[in-house]
Chains A and B, each alone.
Chain A
Amino acid sequence: DARVTQTPRHKVTEMGQEVTMRCQPILGHNTVFWYRQTMMQGLELLAYFRNRAPLDDSGMPKDRFSAEMPDATLATLKIQPSEPRDSAVYFCASGPLGRDNNEQFFGPGTRLTVL
């Protein structure tokens, strides 16, 4: 069945290194969300794309984070340079566009550890 896929599932890196996380939304979905989950802050929305265009990235630290959708089958979230406080689980979710299509389907997440 159709699922959102995320790679890598786990990433351990050192402070200052670049991290790239990838997401493949469900085919036909044209909204994509990036979330960050930590024990302290819970689930935070980082970015929201509709038809590959960023609609809301107000939750994302602009100085080090960037999110893109090079094409309809790939969304990326980059952190450069990474810091220990970026350690979290990053989830991608996708959903179909439309007034009555209001669900989002989550990927399994990327667990990032920055040492």
Chain B
Amino acid sequence: AQSVTQLGSHVSVSEGALVLLRCNYSSSVPPYLFWYVQYPNQGLQLLLKYTTGATLVKGINGFEAEFKKSETSFHLTKPSAHMSDAAEYFCAVRGNYGQNFVFGPGTRLSVLP
């Protein structure tokens, strides 16, 4: 069975500050890991994904995430927050045998001027 936890349902940062959104997962098989972003009244959009290879993954809009197997984590970071980053962020896991996607509860990011 797979599960995803996201620490902090709401995170606030100042514009220009570091963004850190936490994701921990459990999976009985080697996982594929994803971060999605959802802007108001829109569907989810893929930010980045980890499948195999390099554990530091770069995505769109300056975001990146690092897969740490020993910590079962896939935290999302961005060095400098922008107002346009305000959105809801979802971490998801999928086993590499075609299992369903399992999404975390989401973290709402607010960026303060």
Contacts and interface: CB of A to CB of B under 8 A. Distances in A.
Partners in one complex: yes
What range describes how many residues of B lie at the interface?
Answer: 20 to 34
Interface in B1-39: 32, 34, 36
Contacts of B45: 106
A42 B101 contact: no
B53 to A, nearest CB: 11
B100 interface: yes
B96 A102 contact: yes
Contacts of B98: 50, 99
A100 B43 contact: no
Given A106-B43, A107-B43, A109-B43, A99 B96 contact: yes
Contact of B103 (A43, A56, A107): A43
B43 A91 contact: yes
Contact of B94 (A4, A43, A56, A102): A102
A33 B51 CA distance: 20
Interface residues of A, number: 20
Nearest to B96: A99
Contacts of B42: 108-109
Contacts of B51: 100, 102
Interface in A60-115: 91, 93, 99-100, 102-109
Given A45-B103, A108-B43, 16 more contacts: A4-B43, A42-B103, A42-B105, A43-B90, A45-B101, A56-B100, A91-B43, A91-B44, A93-B43, A100-B51, A102-B32, A102-B49, A103-B49, A105-B46, A106-B36, A109-B43
Interface of A: 4, 33, 42-43, 45, 48, 50, 56, 91, 93, 99-100, 102-109
22 contacts: A4-B43, A33-B100, A42-B103, A43-B103, A43-B106, A45-B100, A48-B100, A50-B98, A56-B100, A93-B44, A99-B96, A102-B49, A102-B94, A102-B96, A103-B34, A103-B46, A104-B101, A106-B36, A106-B43, A108-B43, A109-B42, A109-B43
